[in-house]
Amino acid sequence: MTTLQKILTKATGTALMYLFAAPLLLVEWILDVRKQIKSIARIRADVLECPYCSYVNPLTRMATCAKCRSTEPGSVLRCSFCKTTFKTITCDQCAATLRVL
């Protein structure tokens, strides 16, 4: 087998792999977009209801950053001092960890 044949065989195999994987990658992408849309809707609502005690937790309030310990009014999901972002919050009533993102 010549070098050109090896290159063509490898390129054809790679193309076929992507062709067969495309439907699965499309489904994965659609599910990821749906998840992101739900996360954006939660953030825009500016409140998160606890599924355990039904307490409505505000996402904008006076909060202390767990990393740099600075306290500021604003989003509990991002610290403006150290630029850390958080994907979870703690319920104010029952202390359960709630996933926001």
Please check the confidence at residue 42 and state whether its pLDDT lies above 90.
Answer: no
Res 101 pLDDT > 90: no
pLDDT at site 2: 86
pTM over 0.95: no
Let me know how long the chain is: 101
